[in-house]
Structure 1
Amino acid sequence: MKIWTSEHVFNHSWEKVVQAAWRKYPNPMNPAVIGTDVIDRKVDNGILQTHRLVTSEWGLPLWARKIIGPSGICYASERSEVNPKQRKMKLQTRNLSFGSLVAVDEKITYEPHPDDSSKTLLKQEAVVTVQGVPLCSYVENLLTNNISYNASKGRQAIEWVIGKIESEMTDIKNSAMKNKYLRSYR
């Protein structure tokens, strides 16, 4: 078993980061994620609870395909809670593919930074367990390094989505101002 942890501070409000987290996929930083499908969504005591199926396509090396099969399509179950009152978003993801050989359990939280509420603190943890294949420790290290690399791309994707949202808002504002201007001259 290998445990990986990370923290990152976004220079954006919690509300903006959470909005971007919902729109994170697809993104050009991580084209491996090809889809997210909502399985269940409900509000319980003011907390938005969502269960999604995440579909990824990995270009697995030949040696890995020989061990786990030819398909590069992988699935994961993501359960999330958004508590707007406490300003906290929690995500828990577990791989469904290759579960008898590889277990990756990831936990992510987004909260306002404790020292500056205009910023958002991201905490990530992944527990990787490999069993039943040769060189388990080596494979765990390989997967953990991949998680670290993908986490960096995930943070870049959040920034990309925030930029996209801000651009959309500017376009909407400009369109509204243009329409208002045109109406005043009719």
Structure 2
Amino acid sequence: MKTWTSEHVFDHPRETIKTAAMQKYPNPMNASVAGVDVLDRHIDPSGKLHSHRLSTEWELLTANIPLTNMVSVDETFIYKPHPQAPETIVLTQGPTITNKGVSPSSNLEGLMASMVSSNANKGQEAMEQATH
């Protein structure tokens, strides 16, 4: 199992980041996501937005569907105000990559970690562009 986290600071108001996160896919920087279908969306009593999408469950957890019989990738996204600059938002994200029986010498976990890291950067860039 491999895990890593990264942080990105968005110098934009919370509402702008919330809108950008919901419009993150599809985007021209990550052609592997052609579209996302929303199955259900609601706000719970505490004010948290829950959005259930086809192939992903979005709010704080994303599960990638392809290759699930060989490897799973569960990704967590946490958006919160920056402790020193509450008008900005810090995104902390990170996947947990679990090998499901593929030979450790195949380095599938390492390959997936590299792909997820690259896509994370593309997603952050797409959100930054959506805020302008």
TM-score (norm 2): 0.90
List alignment gaps of at least 5 residues for structure 2.
none
SS in 1 for 2:61: strand
In the alignment of these two chains, the number of paired residues is 131
CA-based RMSD of the aligned residues comes to 1.5
Residue in structure 2 matched with residue 105 of structure 1 by the alignment: 74
Partner of 2:53: 52
* Correspondence for 1:78 among 57, 68, 76: 57
Aligned equivalents of 2:95, 2:106: Cα separation in 1 = 15
The structure richer in helix per residue is 1
Superposition deviation, residue 98 in structure 1:
2.3
**Corresponding letter in the other structure for 1:108:** F
Q: CA deviation at 1:131?
A: 2.3
Tell me how far apart the structure 2 counterparts of residues 92 and 107 of structure 1 sit (CA, whole Å): 5
* TM-superposed deviation, 1:107: 0.3
Q: 1:144 maps to what in 2?
A: 113
Please list every run of 5 or more consecutive structure 1 residues that lacks an aligned counterpart in the other structure. 54-75, 81-90, 164-186
TM-score calculated relative to the size of structure 1: 0.66
The residue type equivalent to 1:128 in the other structure is I
- Aligned AA for 1:15? E
Q: Which has the larger strand fraction?
A: 1
Identity fraction in percent: 45
Deviation at 1:48, TM superposition (A): 2.3
Contact 1:13 1:112 in 2 (8 A): no
Aligned 1:1-186 pairs, distance under 5 A: 1-45=1-45, 46-53=47-54, 76-80=55-59, 91-135=60-104, 138-163=107-132
Q: For residue 104 of structure 1, give the secondary structure of its aligned residue in structure 2.
A: strand
